[in-house]
Amino acid sequence: MPIVSPYPDVDIPDESVFDYVLASLTPDELRTVAVVDGDRTVTYGELVEQVLRVAGALAARGVRTGDVVALHAPNSAAFAALFHGILRAGATVTTVNSLYTADDIRRQLADSHAVFVVTVSVLKEPMLAAAHAVGLDDDRIVVADGVEGFRSFADLLAEHRDAPDVSFDPSTHLAVLPYSSGTTGLAKGVMLTHRNLVANVAQSRVLIRLGPEDVVAAVLPFFHIYGLTVLLNLALRQRARLVTLPRFDLAQYLGTVATQRCTYLFVAPPIALALARHPLVAEHDLSSVHTILSGAAPLSSALADAVAERLGCRVVQGYGMTEMSPVSHAVPADRDDLPRGSIGVLLPNMVARLIDPGDGHEIAIPSDGMSAPGELWCQGPNVMVGYLGDDAATAETLDGDGFLHTGDIVTVDSGGAFYVIDRLKELIKYHGYQVPPAELEALLLTHPGVLDAAVIGVSDADGEETPKAFVVRSGDDLDPDALMAWVAERVAPHKKIRQVELVDAIPKSSSGKILRKELRS
């Protein structure tokens, strides 16, 4: 039997993202601060005015409904105005990872058929090389913070152009085209409509309680769908105050949270690890923080407990994928009874199935205790249209009933709370037994000598796949053999770590996911 959300469906307005997020501001809300960007503030009224001027300036340069515009920039107030300005012009935004090389960007621009690009000075070299490689001239490039020879964000605003009249169907018109590797393989354009994004904000509002009194530290990148939907669009829709940071620097982050009296922190596990372990945390007053929500990768209950104890605040998890705009699960604001290792319950309007990866049978919610593990499938109004130009990959991920096959192995308890075990593709098969790397990583992080860790499967001399740990030490006295023995005392025999390699850092994406491909190479 499919598993349904414990919450009643919410209404999904038939509106564009701009109309849903910013068009219904009251006179009082227009005067409140929307974004704090360094020593500058932007009110909601100023933000709306900037959005409309950007839309007008782009339209004057020939950007039309359905065109794709690449946005390549760190978090800032300008990003918010540019993103919504592109959408207000009727165009589609393809967000570009700030860590991408020129070749990465070239592939994305070519695949998405981008006709216009926006970047910033510190990132301009790879973007200019990529844009020129796909035939875009300099007049199709904006360098937002100003570089000689290119239009800037300030130049677009100074033109004082009116936003164009545009008309499209929110249920089919693409709003964003982020690139994701999906369940496996190379990065693909994820087609998300205005309805997808509006739906996910409307769904998330029920469980992730933000309000005008909240101050959100926006350090997770807006170019990633987690940052875009939750930190940017949800926070603005709820009239919260965003404090943008262009990158994660622990000292700057802690100082910003303390001085701006941030109340709600959206993090990924690497930030949670720093909050739990780093001595700098003790030097800052973080008493304003009432909630920390972790997403993008599994967070162990032990690490969540450590953060909650150290900061004296609520620590919860959510779950999602780019292909779901991205949120499908979250711990409700009024459910402090759920274990911190849970990703929470299904959002309103969501339906899930749990499928045994071995024989394909459906796993039901148990009457008591925990279910067997299965692959999570999700259906809802936030699920993508498909992958751009890749019908085969779409068919592999999205079935005929509209269920997205996430590739994640989860369990569900009798109360409808879900728990992530691991990625289906990342499970280690040791002598036929399944070994979840995330379980071993969570255990390793409880060792006092381990600062960070990642586990992958590697072949031994007999060709069997065995668990290998990459470990960052917190000191100089960690012995790999002793660590393997310590793990062996705490896990089943088939889950024992067979190799340990000491490294200086664990490679991770900008959203906090472990880059296992780099470890394997």
Q: Give me the pLDDT at residue 183, please.
A: 47
- Residue 250: predicted pLDDT: 95
pLDDT of residue 406: 94
Cα 307 off chain centre by: 20
Among residues 446, 457, 503, the alpha carbon closest in space to that of 480 is found at: 503
Question: 450, exposed or middle or buried, with CB in 10 Å at 0-12, 13-18, 19+?
Answer: buried
Residue 99's pLDDT is what? 83
d(CA 454, CA 515): 9
pLDDT averaged per 10 residues, the chain (length 521): 95 98 97 97 98 98 97 98 98 93 92 98 97 97 96 98 97 95 69 98 97 97 94 98 95 98 94 92 97 88 93 95 96 90 96 93 94 96 97 94 94 95 76 75 90 88 80 89 92 86 88 80 78
CA distance 467 to 100: 30
Helix (H, G, I), strand (E, B) or coil at 290: coil
pLDDT at 511: 65
Taking the chain, what is the end-to-end CA distance rounded to the nearest angstrom?
Answer: 41
Instruction: Classify residue 351 by burial, with Cβ atoms within 10 Å: 0-12, 13-18, 19+.
Output: middle
Q: Is 490 helix (H, G, I), strand (E, B) or coil?
A: coil
Q: At the top level of CATH, which class does the domain 32-167 belong to?
A: alpha beta
Question: Distance of alpha carbon 311 from its chain centroid, rounded?
Answer: 23
360: left (phi over 0), alpha (psi -120 to 50) or beta: left
At 271 the three-state DSSP class reads helix
Angle at 384 between CA 53 and CA 95, to 5 degrees: 40
How many other CB atoms are there within 10 angstroms of residue 82's CB atom?
Answer: 24
Q: What is the CATH number of domain 427-520?
A: 3.30.300.30
> What residues does each domain of the chain span?
32-167, 427-520
